[in-house]
Chains A and B, each alone.
Chain A
Amino acid sequence: MVRILVAKPGLDGHDRGAKYIARALKDAGYEVIYTGIRQTPESIVVTAIQEDVDFVGLSLLSGAHNELFPKVVELLREKDASDIIVFGGGVIPTEDIPFLKEKGIEAVFTQGTPIKEITDFIEKRLEK
């Protein structure tokens, strides 16, 4: 069974997008753990490890993605959990995406991405 953590780092309280993704992933047959809003990268990483997830999906609308997304990847590495795959979404300017990918966020889904694109990414990544 594939387990996915949907997490909201940072200070913005808008979780409609995160909840929508969580529901869609549930309907696609995955077990989705949802953290709620305003999580620190530290708490997200501990949660991912405790829950033994395969993926962490980060949702952020506040603009702090360039700091918080890489921080999650870095902490996972520190905790010997770099096998957990990180992807992200939310309000992310396209020019930031190459930087995020370089920092180990494997995929970034901006507003309006069809959900199929996310499940395709997950399935393809699982095959690897």
Chain B
Amino acid sequence: MDLVDKVQSGSIRGIARTISLIENNSPQKEDIIDELYPHTGNAMVWGITGPPGAGKSTLVDCLIKRERKQGRRVAVIAIDPSSPYSGGAILGDRTRMQKHSTDEGVYIRSMASRGHLGGVSVATGDAVKILDAAGYDTIIIETIGVGQTEVEIIELCDIVLLVLVPGMGDEIQAMKAGVMEVGDIFVINKKDRDGADRLKTEVEYVLGIKNALTGEEPNPVLLASSKLDEGIDELVEAIHDYLKKAQTTGRFEEKRRDRLEKEVYKIFSSKVHELLNIHLDIENNIGEWISSILNGETAPYKLINSKLNRFVKENRII
């Protein structure tokens, strides 16, 4: 049986191996993904993001429990940062979810960011496709602990939960662009702590300004404690309501189409990049190029434009 069949039959070893191949950028990668592609699109993909220590992994643990109660099969991809020095990583998110490890309806995979900066890893999108084709109903992606700019999660999910905790700053922080804008649902976790209610009011206030502009319904802001398992039922209900509503309004399909468009753009750019890298043999020529800039013969933009123009002419592209 080849790997694609193994994935589709739900073999855990097959799924795990295939994800590794994708992560390691194996030459088989493109064929595997294209072969699995027609079998994707059935799973609901949830993104969980928020700062380090907000309780994302513990929240995922609670969400797995609820989804399993409803009889859904759940896969989790939990991403942690790779060391910029050694390239190694400590992947510790699953520590909080280990009680589900022997449940056959749950698959958990830890991934290192491997130098990628968007809060996920380059392979995350393809790993979701593998798990989708393997028949998981709900796929949860937990990002690395994010700061203000790691928003790539929105390009991978049907819904994003932004997990916040009290004590991170005043309402100016909540007003800023970036991560604060990506939540479809806002979760104020550790609600037993001081300042949780105030944070909720602040977030609601900031979201109110956006909603006044767009005319959209306000995003839910919910208080929860994943450690005490409180507020989780309400949260899960809000997630399913959101997804149902998005499906009836057509927003759901629209978002998926946008995502595919972005993905195709990305593949296109990386392929063009790769192609030109080979044709212009950058690796062997870059030294000479840099010297010609340094000794004043040319300037950076001038140099690159002349190289590209020559490539276009020689290949009669225009």
Contacts and interface: CB of A to CB of B under 8 A. Distances in A.
B: interface residue count bin = 20 to 34
B33 interface: no
A52 to B, nearest CB: 4
Contacts of A66: none
A81 B13 contact: yes
B88 A47 contact: no
Contacts of B88: 25-32
B110 interface: yes
A29 B19 contact: no
Interface stretch (A38-46, A89-97, A98-106): A38-46
A32 B12 contact: no
B238 interface: no
Contact of A34 (B13, B24, B90, B108): B90
Contact of A51 (B87, B92, B96, B110): B110
B210 interface: no
Given A1-B23, A50-B109, A27 B98 contact: no
A79 B14 CA distance: 12
Nearest to B108: A50
Given A36-B95, A42-B102, A46-B102, A80 B90 contact: no
Contact of B102 (A27, A43, A52): A43
B74 to A, nearest CB: 12
A128 to B, nearest CB: 19
Among B13, B20, B91, B102, the most chain A Cβ lie within 10 Å of the Cβ of B91
B110 to A, nearest CB: 5
B284 interface: no
Contacts of B227: none
**Which of A26, A39, A80, A81 has the most CB atoms of chain B within a 10 A radius of its CB?**
A26
5 contacts: A22-B90, A30-B88, A49-B12, A49-B13, A52-B16
Interface of A: 1, 3, 22-23, 25-36, 39-40, 42-43, 46-47, 49-52, 79-81
